[in-house]
Amino acid sequence: MSKKEIRQQFRNSVFKRDNFTCQVCHTQQPEELLDAHHITDRNEMPNGGYVAENGITVCKGSCHMKVEKFHISEGKEWEPNLHPDDLYKRIGSNKELAIQKSEAL
């Protein structure tokens, strides 16, 4: 499978699981207004972390920037209730499971 196909499969599985609904503001959006955010940065995960267990649906724009704050600050800052551990809980996952699934890619 090509990298493009892996990315598309990641997006599709995350959006479908989350019912095309931002997991921050809980607004249902068309696909083009959503982002499949990697909870743990792609560079820190085996095979890029392109598994649903490491992804969460967020609106492009303000909600995406809220969850991205952790990555931008290199883990020093995050919005309340939007730490990666909180995001994993929202989707019924955890970092260990995401790593395990990513290793199997």
Q: Note down the domain range covering 92.
A: 3-100
In a domain, 78, yes or no: yes
Residue 105 inside a domain? The answer is: no
Q: Is residue 32 part of a domain?
A: yes
Report in angstroms the alpha-carbon separations of 95 from 33, 36, 55, 105: 26, 16, 11, 16
Q: Is residue 61 in some structural domain?
A: yes
Q: Total domain count for the chain?
A: 1
What is the reported pTM? 0.94
Query: Could you please report the per-residue DSSP string of 73-102?
Result: TTTS---TT-SHHHHHHHTT--HHHHHHHH
Positions in the chain short of pLDDT 50 = none
**pLDDT for the residue numbered 62:** 93
The predicted pLDDT at position 3 comes to 86
Cα–Cα distance between 81 and 43 in angstroms, integer? 23
